[in-house]
Amino acid sequence: MLTMDEIPERLAAKPSWLISQLAVHVRRLVFDGFSAAGARGYHYRILAALHEFGPASQAELGRRCRVDRSDVVAAVNELVEQGFVDRTPDPDHGRRNKVTLTRGGARQLRRMDGLLDQVQDDLLEPLSAEERRTLTRLLGRVLARHEEE
């Protein structure tokens, strides 16, 4: 693997290039971390949304979690099989299901939180706590700006 001093300066000086290269490492770290819990990133997103916002339709989960509708259905099916969520018909809308977090799902979410915290620590190890907060804040601002478009 090349070190940063072996990368052309034109690339190494571009935040877009750095972010794209870092994304490759992040995906691997997150995948490996969640695999240790028998889970995937979609599972974490859905469990986190249910924990924070309460029961939701699959369509709402897709929007909140930025997951394609077919992927939400597959992920919810897996979470139901594992006992981490319940899916019941929505009494207010005949064609919609309501998904609810179970106690087991809340425990799994806590396990996944711990794994993801470890990934953050591994990823951002060279940075101080203040630098990590600054990076997170700045990335959030950039993302929010582009979501407005």
Name the residue ranges covered by the structural domains of the chain: 34-117
Could you say which architecture CATH assigns to the domain 34-117? Answer: Orthogonal Bundle (1.10)
- Which amino acid type is present at position 81? E
Count of CB atoms within 10 A of residue 19's CB?
12
- Residue 148: predicted pLDDT: 80
Q: Once rounded to an integer, what is the mean pLDDT over residues 81-102? A: 91
Determine the Cα–Cα distance for residues 112 and 92; give it in Å rounded to an integer: 32
Maximum alpha-carbon separation in the chain: 61
pTM, to two decimals: 0.86
Per-residue pLDDT band at 56 (split at 50, 70, 90): very high
Each residue's pLDDT tens digit, 4-45:
778 888 888 899 999 999 999 999 999 999 998 889 999 999
In degrees, rounded to 5, the angle at the alpha carbon of residue 21 between the alpha carbons of residues 15 and 24 is: 140
Q: What percent of the chain has pLDDT over 70?
A: 99
